[in-house]
Amino acid sequence: MTSANVSLLILASGVFVWTLWSAAFKCYSTFYQSLMFEFELKYGDVSWMNGFAQGGYSLGNLLFPVIYKYVTFRFGVMTSAIMSSIAIFVSSFAVTIWPIYVCCGLVTGFCLAGSVIGVFTMLPRYFKKNREVVLQIACGGLSMGSFIYCPLFQVFIDVFQWRGALWIISGIFLQPAIAGALLGFPPPVGEDVTLRERDFVQIEQFDTELKEVESGVSRNVPWRLRLRHLCIRWDFVIFLRPNFYLLVLAWFTYTLCYYSSLLFLIPYGSKIGLTDIQASSLASAVGFGELGSRVFYSVVMNRCPHTYRYIFLTGAVALTGFIVFPLAILNPILTRLGFSRTLS
């Protein structure tokens, strides 16, 4: 197999891994009605399924950069895929809601972080040119996932009940193991400088710096130097950058105002009298809008000067606020579809 074919297959694997992210974090709500009926719960109870998934994903994002210092990306991605598949399959035998929280939520989210980090760390190494475009194509899976999986999950539930649907979904979540196997192929010639080697160089430099300080008259090493050293060693240097906390605040508000509300979009559609397929199509409309917006913004941002990008994005967010208010009070299904697409 040529290196070009391997690169394209890994790109396709990256798209697929991101579709699973949407499947876990945007399409779990298709199970709400079935779980509420099965275990006699309320919306607030079953929504913890997504909360545990987000918590596991956050934990994985912290730990997997450290784990990948000691295991290969191939082993990490394949193991994560197998573990998440087993966890989802086991959750189908649950007699209470807690195994679903842990298996479908916490464990799956944690393993998904391993697959995402592994694939997207290696992906740029297989392309010498247009790496930004390659990553944008891969991230298109975020929008494709909700567009495809939400109606598909609903069909699985209607045909096989929620337990049978989880069996099928467990097989879908096993597929990133193929992406992990592809990571065993070496990158093209000239792309063999790995991040791990550069990390070791930085660690050695900071080790030398610490030894010089400790060998002096005073053995009280400044806490800032120790903190910086530990962050470099364990890949947590991002916590030393002020801009990181600004981005965290932006993501927090996005999650609070946009993502959290979309978790109840499908149940709300069922509540107002839509059929299950119509309700799931609301999430598909969001995915369709996101896919179009990714293409639009990738073109605009490439041509927009860096100094004006934040102003442009601020205007786009403000426009969203003006769109939400008049359309949120309208009832027809076509209007709601348009609203979902425009909001994305």
Same domain, 139 and 175: yes
Find all residues with CB under 8 Å of 305, minimum gap 6, and list them.
none
Same domain, 52 and 149: yes
> What is the percent of the chain where pLDDT is above 90?
19
Same domain, 118 and 141: yes
CA dihedral of residues 257, 258, 259, 261 (deg, nearest 10): 80
What is the pLDDT at residue 91? 93
Look at residue 294 and give its three-state secondary structure: helix
Q: Indicate the burial class of 282 (C-beta count within 10 angstroms; 0-12, 13-18, 19 or more).
A: buried
Same domain, 75 and 224: no
Same domain, 207 and 252: no
Domain with 15 in it: what CATH number?
A: 1.20.1250.20
Domain extent at residue 207: 196-235
Name the band, by pLDDT with cuts 50, 70 and 90, for residue 5.
confident
Measure the CA–CA gap between 18 and 74, rounded to whole angstroms: 17
What is the pLDDT at residue 190? 47
- pLDDT digits over 93-141, tens only? 999 999 999 999 999 999 999 999 888 888 888 877 767 677 777 877 8
Same domain, 28 and 57: yes
What is the pLDDT at residue 238? 73
Structural domain total, the chain: 2
What is the pLDDT at residue 95? 92
pTM, rounded to two decimals: 0.74
Measure the CA–CA gap between 103 and 107, rounded to whole angstroms: 5
Q: Indicate the burial class of 219 (C-beta count within 10 angstroms; 0-12, 13-18, 19 or more).
A: exposed
Show the CA angle centred on residue 236, arms to residues 231 and 240, nearest 5°. 75
> H helices within 68-192, ranges in order?
73-91, 98-100, 108-122, 131-139, 141-172, 176-182
Q: Is the pLDDT of residue 166 over 80?
A: yes
| Mean pLDDT value across the chain | 77
Q: Which two tokens stand for residue 269?
A: 């559609």
On whether the CB atoms of residues 119 and 249 are closer than 8 A, the answer is no
Which of these three, 235, 263, 296, is where a domain ends?
235
Q: Which two tokens stand for residue 99?
A: 């195994």
- pLDDT digits over 297-320, tens only? 777 776 777 777 778 777 877 777
What is the pLDDT at residue 206? 56
Same domain, 166 and 204: no
Same domain, 116 and 205: no
Same domain, 85 and 225: no
Q: How many CB atoms lie within 10 A of CB 148?
A: 17
Nearest Cα neighbor of 177 from 63, 316, 78 is 78
Name the band, by pLDDT with cuts 50, 70 and 90, for residue 33.
confident
Name the band, by pLDDT with cuts 50, 70 and 90, for residue 332.
low
Same domain, 182 and 215: no
Same domain, 275 and 137: yes
Range of weakest confidence among 74-88, 154-168, 237-251:
237-251
On whether the CB atoms of residues 285 and 148 are closer than 8 A, the answer is no
Q: Give the mean model confidence (pLDDT) for residues 139-147.
A: 79
Measure the CA–CA gap between 41 and 32, rounded to whole angstroms: 9
